[in-house]
Structure 1
């Protein structure tokens, strides 16, 4: 049978990278214009693949709106092949829900334009998340193409015994942890293996002899894939002639200008039955470790933190709040939420969110993050105000001058947390200058804090003085005022899942509470944890349930970095500088009944930057692996401030780190020695708590063994363990030769983009104030059965508050929208369907055991059905004695719809 060579025209379109977005966009406009010109002139030019993302159409039409009908025509005719994604993301730095929103928006836009390529497409993602086969299969796809993560070995070679990341062919099956399999096609010779095909016979012969040999090395059939394009590649307008020449040179081979749907159909009819099965996440583990691009996880950490906060503002803020308010009658803002998601996802392309781009890109990303969060925050404020207005706070009128407020828990489990809320004691309108002076003279009365049952709660009140404010009524002009404002801080206990509790500040003498969590010199403890601060500022953390003490926790390590935005490289022969041998300044910063906090100050002396040799190597583009430069002899004093706090009912120790970074070319990590005897650990990933080996495979020779994480990393031996949760810190390393220390990167400062050119990025040095947050959570048993994983998930979610007044309302003072149970399950998403009607709830089983999701029936929770991730109804769920019981398979992503 003759070979069929499928040549697919495309251009891998990094929306921004070595040029800022608008300059890339100008070239995109030229590309699409040229494609349409070729379509009109050359009938042999069958199609052009627009890189699996629909945002390129939006970017094009913002400039060429007059070509919209022509563009739609070519999409419907199959000339332009689009979708299914909105953008080509990096999965590891985008949450599970963000990945699903990416599909929902991309598929919606592809349908709007008239057609969609139903194929998962990851040409240049820096690895792929293990649950992606399940996600794609639920979205109706049965094929995925990708460029990284698996090492092809050729069909003459045997797979190694532990070769989970190897395949003899470029074709394989990829399996999620839940057992879902999908047909996978690896770009074994990269996605440019058919680029710039020659049209003269001599060059074409040399070209095809080489390309056909290479593709045959890994192909499992005689259906060969040649990708005619590369990064920002202009369309090859004379491809028809090039194919004619190839056909003349190789008459026994069928060269065709093809597309992915045709190629996939052809190859699936011929693939052998013995395809390798690769399982779980694809992160290039079977390599030497130098080019996995993992250290993008610590590039521009401040942007990673903004990303996490924006995702949380939507997933754990605007969406659940507006679902709750919609149950009470407020319109669900589908369009506004999609706009905010789009702004956020425009920062999710792999070269953007990986922060491996020029400085102009990072500047624009910060602006987009701010835009997305501004919308999310507005939607939250409108929703919480609406809900507060529906609550019957008139019950507080029996107290003197009551000032009610509402505390919301938007997570899926009951929550206890320290809360701060600002409340206007009184307001005055009119001549604002006079109002301000009048309010200055007011004495803030004595207050006490009560809950809905009238119980007095320990709290702290701070007089913030006179503040300006304004209301924006829906039916009249803005209303400015001056207010006397106070801040109230306390521990809100047991707020129900997806619900709220109401409290009130009322006039009266608060009960004097002398309780303290300070239990000795530089020591604090609650019923679960004891924290002792050592002279060097590190912590000894005792978990009272297991009896285990973790010693020397939370010290700092600083090293030089001769790498770039992609890769970390410690200078040869240099040593890490740590705070272990320092004497820290330790101060008690807060001593309240609900929380104790210490401020710890460490000072270390570190080199100011890389040396002159290193700078010369960068200018001459010496490959980072070959660099022999070192660190400067000039040094600076680096002062690190650490705020360690323990809440009365806290399950973990919260740590905020702050320092002014004046140093270039270095990395800073917070170190958590565990002493746990285990060869594996667990890390939060996309809809998965993945188990990873502490040591990499034998071929790995990079001294650094960093990995991705999302919300946390943990290690346990089945009887005891410890987790480190974070907000926007995506890089960690397990150090098995250092007591299985968990090392979390909190800063990495470099001065160049890296990759293919000399592209300086001075802003990647991240000079200025650096602030990070982690929580250390010790536990008894394992991560899942102990429930520690839920504490880690809640850490990233802010408590939301809303001040209100005393008024009538139909809603009770305390409320929960949903009552559910399920071991090993975590609630990841609460939203309304795209039409703004059905409520969509999503859980994932992060355990290695099947479990049961039990949901109590209520006025809201009724008429339930199983959905897939793209919100298509699969089957209805029957209730039993007032409960819905749904079986969840191991690692299953489960979406439940509530029909209206």
Structure 2
């Protein structure tokens, strides 16, 4: 007997072509229907889409409904959680996904308990590390729709495994979360059941009944009875159910299920939107910036501050994280929304940006002002990573003097001054000729190479000199820059790279190309009358500057592009795009690239092309939340996808979090990025990395795309213009290139953290009250003077730092580390503390799994391939 579990639910997108403000109006009335239907037994169970953000908004408006919510949740009839918002899994960091679950599960617990099911019915693809994340949160079951290819398994139920042994039981709702609406409207029982049963391997089958913002089906029981009458002779019975009940039955047959691993980004069962990663670059950049600041800077800094007497503010962090994860729901993260929704997303991101950088500013100032050895003009730099960093840092200092020196203790520091600005700090007046000379001071833009111990700060002393004005780095006549690793030279409109370590030369190693985009906010699609334009640097102005620690090349010029698709089809180049490309070298092994453009062109895609010396590549490598993944440079179904019924062309456009890599037996190239989330490997030998910088498109959805034929994505019945998504504004892009001998994912991630995480700093001075917004505010020093002392340090070449936060009970710190490699790593004596403390292994939430005792140097044991470990260090 087949038991078909009828699961009544609603799918309530947090926001989309509508805003959350518009949707909440219907939701407050919808909840009245839900409560009434449960009370009248019109439905036995109801699933509220698995995300808590909609309930957070609801309870904000109706706090008096909390008791009724709790009643139905505790009765096991209303199912909520575990998510705060239903996350994107491919361009959102693993730590952000964990924060999302922590926020959602805590809120669900406060309301009576949430379902422990990884319920993501509509995310545009499934990330390879999700089983690890789920298991770390004590979740062992998952439900999703999109992305699974029949090449992996034809079954609807399977075991999804990660390389570390993590395992979740999965129900793949191949026909979508809305398939069960056929139960309500379709009397052709045979056909509906054929669809539902196809591909199932067990006798217990999922039959979700619901849809986007769908009401409660009051006639659900009648329709179940009707279907059961028709199925009496077919050994099939429909029952009202829920996912926890379904998985209880599935677990009985777990050993019979296929084992499947990896990510699921195939368009075989549904659209997957494999080029949504470049829609609304402006939002993706801000989200990426916030993730980096929160995970690698603010949270560790708050732990450092707490150790010297500045209280840890978890509620403030939660407030910021809620703002961030609200933008990480699949539509929100993708950018496939109406303009008014994207405007709200940007406002939330900006609010989180202001809150987070203001907190960093406050903590760095409070610590620096309370230093036991505080002196005038003291410059304090912070390292918020649990390993020592040596790097070239950029900073500003304010002085009355026209010249100065910098000392680290008794050692005179080598530094470069790139710019000097004369500033006034007296009371402003209408007539500036009345300003007194003694009320002026100087702001110096500098850079210097510093070394900062793990999770500590250093104090540098700025000493004014009465000598003549300090020398500023000047431009020279050369058209090349070089350090110990590379030489970058310009000639005839192109850039050439010489690897000084291997003597290999790469001609035209970086360039930009532009092509038409007749897609929408979901997908790139070539224009029907397209023209690809190479953007070289002909007729550009070149300026090179070489300091003691850094060398810069600035290229400024104009690119001519078609204004729109009509102009592109007519071979027009009628719009000037101004650009500035800045390439810099320092003592690191990175080539830093910063492109600034003023985009005034519509319906196009711009990409950076980085040429490598690798030989023909069959795979590219990119990081995932807690590891890396190899992807084919050509999809095996690129040429037969239409024949086998796939929903969009499987172009080898892929998501990335922080880096993409190509390597072979003799060459290894990594491209790091800040906020750029999409790449493709191109070229005849697949030896070029194409980073999609951005796409300009004017509609939320369009029909009949070249890469995605048929109906429009999103709303199929009307065009929704999105002129803001053309991104006609100033845009900047930051990435870096590294060449070395071998692929080492742990060292690559460590290099990324050094590259992408700036070192907060603060100067003791009263001349400039506006170095940051809060500087003007008065502030008490701490009662007890402080100084930097060691905290903890990770000493491992194979393990990667993931996060450092305070435990939920405030009794210790949760340090998360993972092994990104595909082999077992030894964690012996890799965690060193200043003093012995009680330590324990915990799950991701801080629940203790095993006590390790009181130690100063701890063995973390063997790390399985891809394994994540969370260690609690007691205060």
Q: TM-score, normalised by structure 1?
A: 0.87
Q: Is the 8 A contact 1:541 1:549 kept in 2?
A: yes
Matched position secondary structure for 2:661: strand
Whether 2:336 is the aligned partner of 1:352: answer no
Secondary structure (helix, strand or coil) at the match of 1:52 reads: coil
Alpha-carbon shift at residue 221 of structure 1 (Å):
1.7
Report which stretch shifted further, 551-560 or 806-815: 806-815
Write the distance in 2 (CA, Å) between the matches of 1:873 and 1:382: 33
| Structure-2 residue corresponding to 1:371 | 351
* 1:851-873 per-position Cα deviation (integer Å, ceiling 9, x unaligned): 23334543456212111212111
Partner of 2:761: 801
CA contact (8 A) 1:52 1:82 kept: yes
**Does residue 838 in structure 1 map to residue 812 in structure 2?**
yes
Q: 1:673 to 1:730 in 2, by over 3 A?
A: same
- Where does structure 2 lack aligned partners over 5 or more consecutive residues? 428-438, 642-648, 702-712, 767-780
Match of 2:725 among 758, 764, 781: 764
Three-state SS of the structure 2 residue aligned to 1:62 is helix
Moved more, 334-343 or 808-817: 808-817
Per the alignment, residue 660 of structure 2 pairs with 713
Structure 1 position 529, deviation (Å): 2.2
* Aligned-partner SS, 1:611: helix
Residues 211 and 898 of structure 1, relative CA distance in 2, 3 Å threshold: same
- 2:364 corresponds in structure 1 to 384
**TM-aligned CA deviation for residue 224 of structure 1:** 2.1
RMSD: 2.9
| Partner residue in 1 for 2:169 | 183
Structure 2 residue 541 is the aligned partner of structure 1 residue 594: no
Rounded to whole Å, the distance in 1 between the matches of 2:89 and 2:501 is: 36
Residues 1:670 and 2:645 aligned together: no
Q: CA–CA distance in 2 between the matches of 1:461 and 1:571?
A: 44
- How far the C-alpha of 1:355 sits from its partner, in A, is 0.2
1:881-900 map, 5 Å: 882-900=857-875
Aligned residues: 825
Aligned-partner Cα distance in 2 for 1:512–1:821: 44
Say which is worse superposed, 236-245 or 384-393, in terms of deviation: 384-393
Alpha-carbon distance in structure 1 between the residues aligned to 2:320 and 2:347: 13
The corresponding residue for 1:792 is 752
Q: Does 1:268 align with 2:229?
A: no
User: Structure 2 vs 1, CA of residues 353 and 805 (structure 1 numbering), >3 Å: closer, same or farther?
Assistant: same
Cα displacement (A) at 1:576: 1.5
Deviation at 1:718, TM superposition (A): 3.9
Q: Equivalents in 1 of 2:426, 2:195: separation in Å?
A: 68
Shift of 1:256: 1.4
- Select which of 119, 130, 136 maps to 1:138: 136
Alignment-derived partner of residue 627 in structure 2:
688
Counterpart of 2:496? 539
Q: Distance in 2 between matches of 1:734 and 1:861?
A: 49
- When residues 449 and 894 of structure 1 are mapped into structure 2, their CA distance, relative to the original with a 3 A threshold, is same
Q: In structure 2, what is the Cα distance between the partners aligned to 1:579 and 1:709?
A: 24
* Separation in structure 2 between the aligned mates of residue 743 and residue 250 of structure 1, nearest angstrom: 55
The answer on whether the counterparts of 2:96 and 2:291 sit within 8 Å (CA) in structure 1 is yes
Q: Deviations over 1:126-147 (max 9, x none)?
A: 1111111011112112111111
Instruction: Sort the Cα spacing of 1:838 and 1:550 in 2 relative to 1 into closer, same or farther, 3 A.
Output: farther
Q: Give, in whole Å, the separation in 2 of the partners of 1:105 and 1:61.
A: 15
Is the CA contact 1:694–1:736 (under 8 Å) kept in the aligned structure 2?
no
Three-state SS of the structure 1 residue aligned to 2:508 is strand
The match for 1:220 is 201
Q: 1 CA distance for matches of 2:870 and 2:477?
A: 49
SS at match of 2:837: coil
Q: Shift of the alpha carbon at 1:98?
A: 0.4
5+ long unaligned stretches in structure 1? 153-162, 397-401, 426-442, 471-481, 613-628
1-structure distance, mates of 2:470, 2:574: 49
Q: Deviations over 1:185-213 (max 9, x none)?
A: 10112111111633xxxx6531x221211
Residue 274 of structure 1 deviates from its aligned partner by 4.2
State the secondary structure of the residue aligned to 2:171. Answer: strand
The Cα of 1:495 is off from its aligned counterpart by 1.8
- Judge conservation of contact 2:7–2:242 (CA < 8 Å) in 1: yes
Q: Distance in 2 between matches of 1:837 and 1:369?
A: 31
Aligned partner of 2:123 in structure 1 is 125
Mapped to 2, the partners of 1:368 and 1:103 lie a distance apart of 19
Instruction: Please say which of residues 736-745 and 872-881 is displaced more in the overlay.
Output: 872-881
Over residues 98-140 of structure 1, what are the superposed CA-to-partner deviations in whole Å (9 max), with x where a residue is unaligned? 0110111111111100111011111111111111101111211
Distance 1:817 1:630, change over 3 A: farther
Counterpart-to-counterpart distance in 1, 2:442 and 2:29: 56
Give the C-alpha shift of residue 406 in structure 1.
Answer: 0.9
In the aligned structure 1, how far is the partner of 2:488 from the partner of 2:467?
29
> Judging changes above 3 Å, is the alpha-carbon distance between structure 1 residues 865 and 168 closer, same or farther for their aligned structure 2 residues?
same
2:694 aligns to what SS in structure 1? strand
679-688 or 768-777, which moves further after superposition?
Answer: 679-688
Contact between 2:488 and 2:497, CA under 8 Å: does it hold in 1? yes
C-alpha distance in structure 2 between counterparts of 1:352 and 1:223, whole Å: 34
Question: Is the 1:416–1:493 Cα contact (8 Å) retained in structure 2?
Answer: yes
Query: Residues of 1 paired with 2:86 and 2:782: CA distance?
Result: 49
Q: Write the deviation string for residues 331-352 of structure 1: whole angstroms up to 9, x where unpaired.
A: 1001000001001111111011
**Residues 883 and 213 (structure 1), Cα distance of their counterparts in 2 relative to 1, 3 Å cut:** closer
The separation in 2 between residues aligned to 1:524 and 1:59, in whole angstroms, is: 54
* Post-superposition offset of 1:813: 6.6
Kept in 2: contact 1:518–1:525 (CA 8 A): no
Q: Is the 8 A contact 1:537 1:602 kept in 2?
A: no
1:240 is aligned to 2:221: yes
**Aligned partners of 1:382, 1:196: CA distance in 2, in Å?**
57
Aligned partner of 1:473 in structure 2 is none
Contact 2:632 2:652 (C-alpha < 8 Å) held by counterparts:
no
Task: Note if 1:486 corresponds to 2:443.
Answer: yes
CA–CA separation in structure 1 for the residues paired with 2:724 and 2:67: 42
Q: How high is the TM-score relative to the length of structure 2?
A: 0.89
Query: How far apart, CA to CA, are the structure 2 residues paired with 1:90 and 1:503?
Result: 43
State the Cα distance separating 1:15 from its structure 2 match. 0.8
- Conserved? CA contact 2:835–2:856, under 8 Å: no
* Structure 2 counterpart of 1:551: 507
Q: How does 1:140-219 map to 2 (within 5 A)?
A: 140-152=138-150, 163=151, 166-195=152-181, 197-198=183-184, 204-206=186-188, 208-219=189-200
Distance 1:527 1:813 in 2: 36
Partner of 1:446: 403
Correspondence 1:290-689 to 2 at 5 A? 291-394=271-374, 402-425=376-399, 444-460=401-417, 462-466=419-423, 484=441, 486-508=443-465, 521-542=478-499, 544-572=500-528, 574-580=530-536, 583-611=538-566, 630=569, 633=572, 635-647=574-586, 649-677=587-615, 678-689=617-628
SS at 1:93's partner residue? coil
Q: 1:778 aligned to 739, 748, 752, which one?
A: 739
Distance 2:805 2:160 in 1: 30
